[in-house]
Protein backbone atom coordinates (compact mmCIF):
# COMPACT_ATOMS: atom_id res chain seq x y z
CA UNK A 1 0.00 0.00 0.00
CA UNK A 2 1.31 3.46 -0.84
CA UNK A 3 1.93 5.38 2.35
CA UNK A 4 -0.17 8.51 2.76
CA UNK A 5 2.84 10.60 3.68
CA UNK A 6 5.37 9.24 1.26
CA UNK A 7 8.66 8.96 3.10
CA UNK A 8 7.05 8.37 6.49
CA UNK A 9 7.30 4.77 7.60
CA UNK A 10 4.20 2.66 8.09
CA UNK A 11 5.02 2.28 11.81
CA UNK A 12 5.37 6.02 12.39
CA UNK A 13 2.25 6.83 10.43
CA UNK A 14 0.24 4.26 12.38
CA UNK A 15 1.46 5.67 15.66
CA UNK A 16 0.63 9.15 14.49
CA UNK A 17 -2.88 8.33 13.41
CA UNK A 18 -3.92 6.02 16.25
CA UNK A 19 -6.22 8.46 18.05
CA UNK A 20 -7.88 9.79 14.92
CA UNK A 21 -8.47 6.27 13.61
CA UNK A 22 -10.04 5.19 16.92
CA UNK A 23 -12.44 8.14 16.87
CA UNK A 24 -13.56 7.19 13.38
CA UNK A 25 -14.10 3.58 14.46
CA UNK A 26 -11.45 2.39 12.01
CA UNK A 27 -8.39 0.28 12.59
CA UNK A 28 -5.14 2.18 12.08
CA UNK A 29 -4.61 0.20 8.88
CA UNK A 30 -8.08 1.10 7.58
CA UNK A 31 -7.50 4.74 8.46
CA UNK A 32 -4.17 4.84 6.63
CA UNK A 33 -5.86 3.33 3.58
CA UNK A 34 -8.66 5.89 3.82
CA UNK A 35 -6.20 8.79 3.95
CA UNK A 36 -4.40 7.39 0.92
CA UNK A 37 -7.65 6.99 -0.97
CA UNK A 38 -8.93 10.49 -0.15
CA UNK A 39 -5.68 12.21 -1.00
CA UNK A 40 -5.22 10.22 -4.19
CA UNK A 41 -8.74 11.16 -5.31
CA UNK A 42 -8.25 14.87 -4.56
CA UNK A 43 -7.94 16.90 -7.77
CA UNK A 44 -4.92 18.69 -6.34
CA UNK A 45 -3.22 19.15 -3.02
CA UNK A 46 -5.66 20.43 -0.39
CA UNK A 47 -4.93 24.15 -0.04
CA UNK A 48 -4.05 25.56 3.38
CA UNK A 49 -3.73 29.19 4.44
CA UNK A 50 -1.94 29.90 7.73
CA UNK A 51 -2.48 33.40 9.13
CA UNK A 52 -0.60 34.90 12.08
CA UNK A 53 -2.04 37.59 14.32
CA UNK A 54 -0.73 38.54 17.77
CA UNK A 55 1.63 35.64 18.33
CA UNK A 56 5.23 34.63 18.98
CA UNK A 57 5.29 32.11 16.09
CA UNK A 58 5.80 29.36 18.68
CA UNK A 59 3.05 27.23 17.12
CA UNK A 60 4.70 27.56 13.71
CA UNK A 61 7.97 26.47 15.28
CA UNK A 62 6.25 23.53 16.99
CA UNK A 63 4.71 22.54 13.64
CA UNK A 64 7.99 22.97 11.76
CA UNK A 65 9.80 20.92 14.40
CA UNK A 66 7.51 17.94 13.90
CA UNK A 67 9.50 14.74 13.47
CA UNK A 68 6.75 12.47 12.15
CA UNK A 69 5.62 13.40 9.61
CA UNK A 70 8.39 15.80 8.77
CA UNK A 71 7.39 19.30 7.79
CA UNK A 72 8.78 18.72 4.30
CA UNK A 73 6.63 15.63 3.77
CA UNK A 74 3.53 17.32 5.08
CA UNK A 75 3.93 20.53 3.15
CA UNK A 76 5.52 19.47 -0.08
CA UNK A 77 3.85 16.14 -0.71
CA UNK A 78 0.31 16.28 0.53
CA UNK A 79 -1.04 19.73 1.22
CA UNK A 80 -0.46 22.98 -0.57
CA UNK A 81 0.52 25.62 1.97
CA UNK A 82 -0.39 28.70 -0.04
CA UNK A 83 0.43 31.30 2.57
CA UNK A 84 2.48 31.24 5.76
CA UNK A 85 4.43 34.34 6.71
CA UNK A 86 7.27 32.43 8.37
CA UNK A 87 7.58 29.39 6.09
CA UNK A 88 6.74 30.57 2.58
CA UNK A 89 9.51 31.50 0.19
CA UNK A 90 7.63 34.46 -1.33
CA UNK A 91 7.42 37.86 0.34
CA UNK A 92 5.82 41.26 -0.19
CA UNK A 93 3.34 41.73 -3.02
CA UNK A 94 3.92 38.23 -4.41
CA UNK A 95 2.97 36.67 -1.06
CA UNK A 96 -0.08 38.90 -0.69
CA UNK A 97 -1.20 38.04 -4.22
CA UNK A 98 -0.97 34.30 -3.42
CA UNK A 99 -3.08 34.86 -0.32
CA UNK A 100 -5.79 36.83 -2.09
CA UNK A 101 -5.91 34.46 -5.05
CA UNK A 102 -6.43 31.48 -2.71
CA UNK A 103 -9.08 33.30 -0.69
CA UNK A 104 -10.92 34.18 -3.90
CA UNK A 105 -11.07 30.52 -4.97
CA UNK A 106 -12.28 29.37 -1.52
CA UNK A 107 -12.45 25.79 -0.25
CA UNK A 108 -9.21 25.89 1.75
CA UNK A 109 -8.35 24.90 5.31
CA UNK A 110 -7.69 28.07 7.29
CA UNK A 111 -5.25 27.77 10.19
CA UNK A 112 -5.01 30.82 12.43
CA UNK A 113 -2.16 31.35 14.87
CA UNK A 114 -2.26 34.27 17.30
CA UNK A 115 -4.98 36.37 18.87
CA UNK A 116 -6.95 39.29 17.47
CA UNK A 117 -6.93 42.72 19.14
CA UNK A 118 -10.31 44.27 19.88
CA UNK A 119 -9.12 47.41 21.68
CA UNK A 120 -7.73 48.89 18.47
CA UNK A 121 -7.06 47.30 15.07
CA UNK A 122 -3.70 49.05 14.92
CA UNK A 123 -2.30 46.64 17.51
CA UNK A 124 -2.04 44.07 14.73
CA UNK A 125 -1.59 45.21 11.13
CA UNK A 126 -0.39 42.75 8.47
CA UNK A 127 0.34 43.75 4.89
CA UNK A 128 -0.83 47.29 5.66
CA UNK A 129 -4.30 46.31 6.84
CA UNK A 130 -5.89 45.19 10.10
CA UNK A 131 -5.32 41.51 10.75
CA UNK A 132 -8.99 41.26 11.77
CA UNK A 133 -10.11 42.23 8.25
CA UNK A 134 -7.90 39.61 6.59
CA UNK A 135 -9.17 36.99 9.02
CA UNK A 136 -12.82 37.86 8.32
CA UNK A 137 -12.26 37.80 4.57
CA UNK A 138 -10.46 34.44 4.66
CA UNK A 139 -12.91 32.86 7.13
CA UNK A 140 -15.84 33.70 4.85
CA UNK A 141 -14.40 31.50 2.07
CA UNK A 142 -12.73 28.77 4.17
CA UNK A 143 -13.96 25.16 4.13
CA UNK A 144 -12.73 24.61 7.69
CA UNK A 145 -11.22 26.93 10.28
CA UNK A 146 -8.70 25.76 12.85
CA UNK A 147 -7.55 28.05 15.67
CA UNK A 148 -4.00 26.92 16.36
CA UNK A 149 -2.63 27.29 19.89
CA UNK A 150 -3.61 29.16 23.05
CA UNK A 151 -3.62 32.69 21.55
CA UNK A 152 -5.84 31.88 18.56
CA UNK A 153 -8.24 29.77 20.62
CA UNK A 154 -8.93 31.91 23.67
CA UNK A 155 -6.60 34.94 23.56
CA UNK A 156 -3.69 33.31 25.43
CA UNK A 157 -0.88 35.43 26.84
CA UNK A 158 -1.82 38.54 24.77
CA UNK A 159 -5.24 38.53 26.50
CA UNK A 160 -3.44 39.49 29.72
CA UNK A 161 -2.19 42.69 28.02
CA UNK A 162 -3.81 45.94 26.86
CA UNK A 163 -4.87 44.93 23.33
CA UNK A 164 -8.21 43.34 24.20
CA UNK A 165 -6.93 40.14 22.58
CA UNK A 166 -9.49 37.43 21.83
CA UNK A 167 -9.55 34.10 20.04
CA UNK A 168 -10.90 33.46 16.54
CA UNK A 169 -14.32 32.33 17.80
CA UNK A 170 -15.02 35.77 19.23
CA UNK A 171 -14.55 37.34 15.77
CA UNK A 172 -15.91 34.62 13.50
CA UNK A 173 -19.25 33.61 14.95
CA UNK A 174 -21.12 32.16 11.96
CA UNK A 175 -18.95 29.07 11.36
CA UNK A 176 -17.63 26.28 13.58
CA UNK A 177 -14.12 26.95 14.82
CA UNK A 178 -11.95 23.98 15.78
CA UNK A 179 -9.88 24.99 18.79
CA UNK A 180 -6.53 23.23 19.12
CA UNK A 181 -5.33 24.85 22.30
CA UNK A 182 -2.07 24.48 24.28
CA UNK A 183 0.93 26.77 24.14
CA UNK A 184 2.41 25.96 21.70
CA UNK A 185 0.12 23.74 19.66
CA UNK A 186 0.87 20.02 19.73
CA UNK A 187 1.73 19.06 16.17
CA UNK A 188 -0.04 15.71 16.44
CA UNK A 189 -3.25 17.42 17.60
CA UNK A 190 -3.09 19.72 14.60
CA UNK A 191 -2.17 17.21 11.91
CA UNK A 192 -4.58 14.61 13.31
CA UNK A 193 -7.38 17.17 13.11
CA UNK A 194 -6.49 18.11 9.53
CA UNK A 195 -6.43 14.39 8.62
CA UNK A 196 -9.80 13.89 10.26
CA UNK A 197 -11.24 16.71 8.19
CA UNK A 198 -9.64 15.51 4.94
CA UNK A 199 -10.87 11.94 5.39
CA UNK A 200 -14.42 12.70 6.57
CA UNK A 201 -15.14 16.20 5.28
CA UNK A 202 -16.42 16.97 8.78
CA UNK A 203 -15.33 18.80 11.89
CA UNK A 204 -14.35 16.25 14.59
CA UNK A 205 -16.59 15.98 17.67
CA UNK A 206 -15.79 18.96 19.88
CA UNK A 207 -16.12 19.62 23.60
CA UNK A 208 -17.90 22.69 24.95
CA UNK A 209 -14.70 24.71 24.54
CA UNK A 210 -14.57 23.82 20.83
CA UNK A 211 -11.66 21.37 21.23
CA UNK A 212 -11.53 17.92 19.55
CA UNK A 213 -12.68 15.45 22.20
CA UNK A 214 -10.21 12.90 20.87
CA UNK A 215 -7.34 14.99 22.25
CA UNK A 216 -8.93 17.03 25.04
CA UNK A 217 -11.39 14.56 26.56
CA UNK A 218 -9.56 13.78 29.81
CA UNK A 219 -8.00 15.71 32.66
CA UNK A 220 -4.22 15.77 32.86
CA UNK A 221 -4.62 15.05 36.58
CA UNK A 222 -6.41 11.75 35.88
CA UNK A 223 -3.50 10.39 33.84
CA UNK A 224 -0.64 11.87 35.85
CA UNK A 225 1.94 9.46 37.26
CA UNK A 226 2.27 11.70 40.36
CA UNK A 227 -1.44 11.31 41.16
CA UNK A 228 -1.04 8.96 44.13
CA UNK A 229 1.08 11.63 45.84
CA UNK A 230 -1.67 14.22 45.32
CA UNK A 231 -4.23 11.81 46.73
CA UNK A 232 -2.00 11.31 49.80
CA UNK A 233 -1.20 15.01 50.31
CA UNK A 234 2.46 14.53 49.47
CA UNK A 235 3.52 17.71 47.70
CA UNK A 236 6.94 18.63 46.38
CA UNK A 237 8.23 21.74 48.13
CA UNK A 238 11.92 21.66 47.15
CA UNK A 239 13.02 20.93 43.60
CA UNK A 240 16.57 20.35 44.90
CA UNK A 241 15.59 17.51 47.22
CA UNK A 242 16.03 14.22 45.32
CA UNK A 243 13.70 12.48 47.79
CA UNK A 244 10.83 14.63 46.53
CA UNK A 245 11.48 14.31 42.83
CA UNK A 246 8.38 12.23 42.04
CA UNK A 247 5.98 13.98 44.39
CA UNK A 248 2.94 15.95 43.30
CA UNK A 249 3.65 19.44 41.93
CA UNK A 250 0.50 21.10 43.28
CA UNK A 251 2.47 23.41 45.59
CA UNK A 252 4.62 24.38 42.60
CA UNK A 253 1.52 25.70 40.88
CA UNK A 254 0.34 22.66 38.91
CA UNK A 255 -3.08 23.22 37.30
CA UNK A 256 -3.42 19.63 36.04
CA UNK A 257 -6.64 19.09 38.03
CA UNK A 258 -8.30 21.82 35.93
CA UNK A 259 -6.76 21.10 32.54
CA UNK A 260 -8.04 18.84 29.78
CA UNK A 261 -5.43 17.43 27.39
CA UNK A 262 -3.82 14.11 26.59
CA UNK A 263 -0.29 15.41 27.34
CA UNK A 264 0.52 12.65 29.90
CA UNK A 265 -0.34 9.95 27.37
CA UNK A 266 0.73 11.51 24.06
CA UNK A 267 3.61 13.49 25.54
CA UNK A 268 5.67 15.95 23.46
CA UNK A 269 8.69 15.92 21.16
CA UNK A 270 7.79 12.61 19.60
CA UNK A 271 6.67 11.15 22.91
CA UNK A 272 9.88 12.07 24.72
CA UNK A 273 8.45 13.93 27.72
CA UNK A 274 5.98 16.54 28.92
CA UNK A 275 5.92 19.37 31.47
CA UNK A 276 5.00 17.39 34.60
CA UNK A 277 7.41 14.55 33.93
CA UNK A 278 10.28 17.03 33.65
CA UNK A 279 9.39 18.52 37.02
CA UNK A 280 7.34 21.57 35.98
CA UNK A 281 3.70 21.87 37.01
CA UNK A 282 1.01 22.07 34.33
CA UNK A 283 0.33 25.73 33.48
CA UNK A 284 -3.17 25.03 32.21
CA UNK A 285 -2.27 26.20 28.70
CA UNK A 286 -5.06 24.12 27.12
CA UNK A 287 -7.77 26.01 28.99
CA UNK A 288 -9.65 29.21 28.05
CA UNK A 289 -8.48 30.92 31.27
CA UNK A 290 -4.80 30.62 30.36
CA UNK A 291 -2.74 32.81 30.96
CA UNK A 292 -4.21 35.31 33.41
CA UNK A 293 -6.60 32.86 35.08
CA UNK A 294 -3.83 30.34 35.76
CA UNK A 295 -1.28 32.65 37.42
CA UNK A 296 0.83 32.45 39.50
CA UNK A 297 2.28 29.57 37.53
CA UNK A 298 4.89 28.31 39.98
CA UNK A 299 3.20 28.55 43.38
CA UNK A 300 -0.15 27.50 44.83
CA UNK A 301 -0.88 30.95 46.18
CA UNK A 302 -3.38 31.98 43.52
CA UNK A 303 -7.15 31.70 43.54
CA UNK A 304 -7.14 28.85 41.04
CA UNK A 305 -4.83 26.71 43.18
CA UNK A 306 -6.78 27.52 46.33
CA UNK A 307 -9.94 26.43 44.55
CA UNK A 308 -8.32 23.11 43.57
CA UNK A 309 -7.36 22.43 47.20
CA UNK A 310 -10.79 23.45 48.47
CA UNK A 311 -12.40 20.95 46.08
CA UNK A 312 -9.95 18.25 47.16
CA UNK A 313 -10.80 18.84 50.82
CA UNK A 314 -14.50 18.79 50.04
CA UNK A 315 -14.12 15.38 48.37
CA UNK A 316 -14.84 16.76 44.90
CA UNK A 317 -11.52 15.42 43.56
CA UNK A 318 -11.70 11.89 44.97
CA UNK A 319 -8.61 9.67 45.03
CA UNK A 320 -8.21 7.41 42.03
CA UNK A 321 -9.24 3.84 42.76
CA UNK A 322 -6.31 1.45 42.85
CA UNK A 323 -7.06 -0.05 39.45
CA UNK A 324 -7.21 3.45 37.88
CA UNK A 325 -3.99 4.71 39.52
FE1 LIG B 1 -0.03 15.54 38.63
FE2 LIG B 1 -0.37 18.14 38.87
FE3 LIG B 1 -2.32 16.50 39.58
FE4 LIG B 1 -0.10 16.66 41.06
S5 LIG B 1 -1.63 18.28 40.73
S6 LIG B 1 -1.13 14.79 40.43
S7 LIG B 1 1.45 16.96 39.48
S8 LIG B 1 -1.54 16.80 37.53
pLDDT tens-digit readout, 68-107: 666 656 666 677 888 998 888 888 888 899 999 999 999 9
Question: For residue 313, is pLDDT > 50?
Answer: yes
- Tell me how far apart the terminal alpha carbons of the chain are, to the nearest angstrom: 40
Q: Across the chain, what does the average pLDDT equal?
A: 88
* C-alpha dihedral sign at 7, 72, 177, 255: positive
Tell me which of 156, 188, 214 is where a domain ends.
214
Q: Mean pLDDT across the stretch 181-194?
A: 91
The band of 43, judged by pLDDT with boundaries at 50, 70 and 90, is low
171 and 143 assigned to the same domain: yes
Q: Mean pLDDT across the stretch 311-319?
A: 96
For position 17, what pLDDT does the model report?
Answer: 66
Residue 267 belongs to a domain? yes
Per mean pLDDT, which range of 135-149, 262-276, 304-318 is the poorest? 262-276
Residue 103 belongs to a domain? yes
Residue 163 belongs to a domain? yes
29 and 101 assigned to the same domain: yes
159 and 201 assigned to the same domain: yes
Give the domain CATH number at 300: 4.10.480.10
Residue 228 belongs to a domain? yes
Residues with a catalytic annotation lie at 56, 59, 151, 183, 221, 224, 248, 254, 263, 275, 282, 285
Q: For residue 59, give the H/E element and its range.
A: helix 58-64
**Coil, strand or helix at 148:** strand
For position 90, what pLDDT does the model report?
Answer: 84
The band of 194, judged by pLDDT with boundaries at 50, 70 and 90, is confident
Q: Mean pLDDT across the stretch 158-179?
A: 97
94 and 122 assigned to the same domain: yes
Question: For residue 264, is pLDDT > 50?
Answer: yes
Question: Is the Cβ atom of 254 under 6 angstroms away from ligand 1?
Answer: yes
Question: Domain of 280?
Answer: 220-313
Question: Is the Cβ atom of 220 under 6 angstroms away from ligand 1?
Answer: yes
Among 290, 52, 160, CA closest to 63: 52
The band of 325, judged by pLDDT with boundaries at 50, 70 and 90, is low
Residue 98 belongs to a domain? yes
196 and 286 assigned to the same domain: no
Residue 2 belongs to a domain? no
66 and 176 assigned to the same domain: yes
Among 60, 297, 306, 308, CA closest to 160: 297
Structural domains counted in the chain? 2
Cis before 263 (ω within 30):
no
Question: Is the Cβ atom of 257 under 6 angstroms away from ligand 1?
Answer: yes
The band of 156, judged by pLDDT with boundaries at 50, 70 and 90, is very high
For position 225, what pLDDT does the model report?
Answer: 96
Tell me which of 214, 229, 256 is where a domain ends.
214
Atom of ligand 1 nearest to the CA of 257: 3
Question: For residue 6, is pLDDT > 70?
Answer: no
Tell me which of 214, 249, 276 is where a domain ends.
214
Amino acid sequence: MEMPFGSISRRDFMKYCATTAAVLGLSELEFAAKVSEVLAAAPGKPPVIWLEGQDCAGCSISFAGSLYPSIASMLLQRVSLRYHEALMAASGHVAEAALHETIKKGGFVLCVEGSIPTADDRFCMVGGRPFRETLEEAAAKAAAIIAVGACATYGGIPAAGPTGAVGVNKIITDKPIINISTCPVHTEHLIGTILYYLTTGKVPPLDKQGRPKMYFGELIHDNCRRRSYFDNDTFLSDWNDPNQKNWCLYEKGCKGPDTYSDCPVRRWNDGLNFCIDCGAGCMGCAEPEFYAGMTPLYTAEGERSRNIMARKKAGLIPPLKEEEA
